[in-house]
Amino acid sequence: MKKSHDNISPLDSRYASKIEDTRTIFSEANLIKVRFDLEIDWLLFLCKKLPSNFPTLSETSVNKILKFKKNFDDKSVVAVKKIESKTNHDVKAVEYYIRDYFLTDKILAKYIHLIHFGLTSEDLNSLSYAVILKAGINEHLNNLKSLQSVLSKKSKQWSSIPLLARTHGQPASPSTLGKEFKVFYSRINRQINQIKAIKPMAKWSGATGNFHTFNIVDASIDWPKFCGNFIKQCGIEQNLLTTQIEPHDWIAETCHNMSRINNILIDLNQDIWMYITNDLFKLKLLKDEVGSSTMPHKVNPIDFENSEGNLGIANSLLEFFANKLQKSRMQRDLSDSTVLRNVGLGFGYSALAISSLNKGLGKLSPNKEKLLSELDQNWEVLTEAVQTVMRYEGIPDAYEQLKELSRGSSIQKNDYIKFIKNLDITSESKDKLLILTPALYIGLAKSLSKL
């Protein structure tokens, strides 16, 4: 018997419980179920919407079909897979599974010819993947919403905690922890708005996208509109101009968007990792957690490291999907089929990374003593404020004077005060600069963190 620890992917073993909803959405079982549901819905749609072309189903027969649809479960999936082992065709296996059920009823047996009517396999795949990806995107947005909630809370909670900023790794004009976290919140939010604007698309137009099978049946029917209405009831937008496949451009857009979000999260993980390394954050201890197998003192930033690693895996997959899925030789080749089966992995590793990041954020505690100490050791960051006031007062060589005082060297508090007192500026400006400290020189960071 196969065991969970025999799975090749850690998403299905070690990390399975952390991404259960995402795994369910992108599982093969769900793909089979969605295909099954759509086949049933299409048959019902034909009989209901075109009674002059297709035999009407009685209320009793409709209810039997709906009950059959509702009762689709794991045993049904196994039955479909058993059929597929003979047909070597997954879509045809779903069609035969429905056929076998219809054959058990004298009335429904008369409707077997309408199962998968007018369709090519790619119609069903196109709409099925659109439905699944739409659900996956919504779950991804829910995960991001939970992360955004944490980032928003931290940015407000830490809005007044000063932080020595670093540009090029060197001390720079101070900020606050809250403001720096709000930057990431804002960046992610922009990408969320973009991913929400992407419209999942599908085609339902036959072998090469020209509605051949429908038009030959009855050319008087507006088949593009009719099929579009069916797609619309599934919450998906119709792509009217396609080859045999819907060209997957919207999937590529989704992957690119997710990759950009993941890059932002990698940036966040790396920044936090460096803050922890510099002792600006403490990590809350978990009693039973082990930091090192040989060094008992260690409390490692493993959640941020795991998140970074999984984001890298996710991006490798997502960027490949985006690059591959937009390309298909002539009216189609089958190389996209095996790729689409794996698209859930990009979502899975992204979900896992967000879960780890959220966990890590929950362990962070600002080391206020260290933060203030670091600021107090870098009074030279106030030279920006001083030279700006000097310029404002009309001193032409302000930058040069401060450069001579501070470039490449550290300034102590007393050096700073002495320099200010000797400046030829108004007493009002002197007073403003004399009460200034690195911890107070945060500009509008506090208010920006609350936007």
Kindly list the domain boundaries of the chain, sorted by start residue. Answer: 18-117, 126-166+189-365, 378-448
DSSP string, 199-213: --EE----TTSS-HH
Question: Strand ranges (DSSP E) for 25-157?
Answer: none
Q: Please give the structure tokens belonging to residue 418.
A: 């002495």
Q: What angle in degrees, to the nearest 10, is found between the helix axes of 177-197 and 121-157?
A: 160
Lowest mean pLDDT among 298-302, 364-368, 376-380: 298-302
Q: What angle in degrees, to the nearest 10, is found between the helix axes of 121-157 and 90-102?
A: 110
Which position among 9, 146, 292, 335 bears the catalytic label? 292
Q: What three-state secondary structure class fits 315?
A: helix
CATH number belonging to the domain at 18-117, selected among 1.10.275.10, 1.10.1060.10, 3.40.640.10, 3.90.1200.10? 1.10.275.10
Q: Is 175 a catalytic residue?
A: no
pLDDT in tens, 129-183: 999 999 999 999 999 999 999 999 999 999 999 999 999 999 999 999 999 999 9
pLDDT in tens, 70-91: 999 999 999 999 999 999 999 9
Query: What pLDDT is recorded for position 197?
Result: 96
pLDDT in tens, 285-335: 655 555 544 444 456 899 999 999 999 999 999 999 999 999 998 888 888
Q: What three-state secondary structure class fits 230?
A: helix
246/200 Cα distance (integer angstroms):
11
- CATH T-level assignment (fold) for domain 126-166+189-365: Fumarase C; Chain A, domain 2 (1.20.200)
Q: What three-state secondary structure class fits 42?
A: helix
pLDDT surpassing 60 at residue 391:
yes
Superfamily holding 378-448 = Fumarase/aspartase (C-terminal domain) (1.10.40.30)
Lowest mean pLDDT among 233-242, 350-359, 406-415: 406-415
Averaged pLDDT, 49-63 = 96
Question: Strand ranges (DSSP E) for 177-242?
Answer: 201-202, 237-238
Q: Is 168 a catalytic residue?
A: yes
221/219 Cα distance (integer angstroms):
6
Contact between residue 57 and residue 65 where contact means Cβ atoms under 8 Å apart: yes
Q: Is the whole model's pTM more than 0.85, yes or no?
A: yes
Q: What three-state secondary structure class fits 372?
A: helix
pLDDT surpassing 90 at residue 409:
no
- 293: DSSP letter: S
Amino acid at 115: I
Question: Strand ranges (DSSP E) for 222-272?
Answer: 237-238
Q: To 5 degrees, how large is the angle CA 176–CA 182–CA 183?
A: 95
Q: What three-state secondary structure class fits 171?
A: strand
Which position among 85, 168, 409, 427 bears the catalytic label? 168
